[in-house]
Structure 1
């Protein structure tokens, strides 16, 4: 019965993680450049074997013997991001950009350091610098890009052209050899280890477009309903195990 309680509790933890991730995906279904997350889960015995292997060479004493494995439910091993591109939506605004090349990112200067994003919903701050939707300045190859007004053009390669003045710099667009190096943070940003971001070989920028989220709302709703039902099933199992334990302690064990 105790093992049954642990099994049901571990199932509740997994379904809670799924609910949190799915709810966040649905909340960002209309966020430009947002990439959906998914939960990876494994049976507990498999996780236990992995942990044992990481302990290194440990001698088993004469009092130890192998008794097999027991399934104590499941556990979350991580949350992964789906980096597949979202649909490009025309807006006609000069300050809206979309990266048509998969796995490329704009670089933004935030108070916490450089961040990477696919969100091209840009604007212009009071000093004429190109900023993202959170007011952080977008970086070019030579630093923050000053355009003064929204009367500018961006080439497919990311070069910024000002009317009557010519080139004003080029957007800093980067790519990663391994997308697993990226860590999603708040505000639709990503961080990565120093030196892992490399200049994109052939960036493709579409001015006047925004990349939509790659969240599938219909599929996410189906998964959300499934997670809720699984959560409720684990709740009922946990309550049943608790009732059995109560009977075992207070009735079966009672002396009459």
Structure 2
């Protein structure tokens, strides 16, 4: 019965993690460049079941293998889905989309250089190109100063001002292994030092935004499934508690 309590409790923990991730995905279904997460679960380490008999076996004198069991489930990891979202035309010069699914814009933040697929950009009061959170977008020579929103961006990331020519080139990077990236919040990713490499052909699309790759309908179905699984584990936990109460207070009582 104690094992049943542990098993049900671990199930609650896994379903809570699924609910949290699915809720975050749905909350960002309309966030530009957002990448959905998925929870990967695994069984706890399996325990060997043996029974005693005469003789000597690999498991020890007088024992033989009869099967395995486990103590429930656990969250193995949270995996980010990096598949590209649909491109949405906006016509605004400060909206950029990257068609290379492995490419990212580099942004200067208080936490250092971070990376994002969110191309919903703007121009701050000093004329620098900034993202939707006010952090400056990096070029190959540092933050890019465009002055106003009257500029063009080529497919290769060059920024051209009318009458001035090229004023900078966006620092667009890609990673050999996207699993190295970790989410830090606010639609940013962090990566190990030295893992970012210049994107050879980022294929920037000006006047477009990449939509979130969250599937709202599928996420809602998964959310309902996780909620029902959570409730089922709650009922199992209550049943185990009642059985334990009977065992302690009734079966074990002296009469």
* TM-score class normalised by the smaller sequence: over 0.9
| CA deviation string 1:37-73 (max 9, x = no partner) | 0000011125x89xxxxxxxxxxxx89x887643111
Q: Which residue of 2 aligns with 1:53?
A: none
Say if 1:45 and 1:69, in contact at 8 Å, map to a contact too.
no
Q: Secondary structure at the match of 1:121?
A: coil
Q: Which residue of 2 aligns with 1:164?
A: 163
TM-score between the two structures when normalised by the length of structure 1: 0.92
Confirm or deny that 1:235 pairs with 2:222.
Answer: no
Whole-angstrom distance in 2 between the partners of 1:194 and 1:101: 22
Confirm or deny that 1:5 pairs with 2:20.
Answer: no
Whole-angstrom distance in 2 between the partners of 1:254 and 1:232: 32
> In the TM superposition, what is the alpha-carbon distance from 1:104 to its structure 2 partner?
0.3
Q: Secondary structure at the match of 1:201?
A: coil
Q: Which residue of 2 aligns with 1:246?
A: 245
Please give the root-mean-square deviation of Cα atoms over the aligned residues, in Å. 1.8
Change (3 A) 1:239 1:158: same
Greater helix content: 1
Residue correspondence of structure 1 range 47-196 to structure 2 within 5 A? 69-196=68-195
Whole-angstrom distance in 1 between the partners of 2:24 and 2:97: 22
Q: Secondary structure at the match of 1:164?
A: coil
Q: Secondary structure at the match of 1:185?
A: strand
Whole-angstrom distance in 2 between the partners of 1:69 and 1:9: 20
> In the TM superposition, what is the alpha-carbon distance from 1:203 to its structure 2 partner?
1.0
Q: Which residue of 2 aligns with 1:224?
A: 223
Confirm or deny that 1:37 pairs with 2:45.
Answer: no
| CA deviation string 1:194-250 (max 9, x = no partner) | 000000011100000000000000000000000000000000000000000000000
TM-score between the two structures when normalised by the length of structure 2: 0.92
Whole-angstrom distance in 1 between the partners of 2:178 and 2:165: 35
Confirm or deny that 1:19 pairs with 2:19.
Answer: yes
Q: Which residue of 2 aligns with 1:56?
A: none
Whole-angstrom distance in 2 between the partners of 1:218 and 1:200: 33
Whole-angstrom distance in 2 between the partners of 1:22 and 1:141: 36
Pick the structure with greater CA Rg: 2
Structure 2, unmatched stretches of 5+, are 49-59
Alignment length (residue pairs): 244
Q: Secondary structure at the match of 1:109?
A: strand
Whole-angstrom distance in 1 between the partners of 2:129 and 2:64: 64
Instruction: Write out the 4+ residue segments of structure 1 that deviate beyond 3 Å after TM superposition.
Output: 65-69
Q: Which residue of 2 aligns with 1:59?
A: none
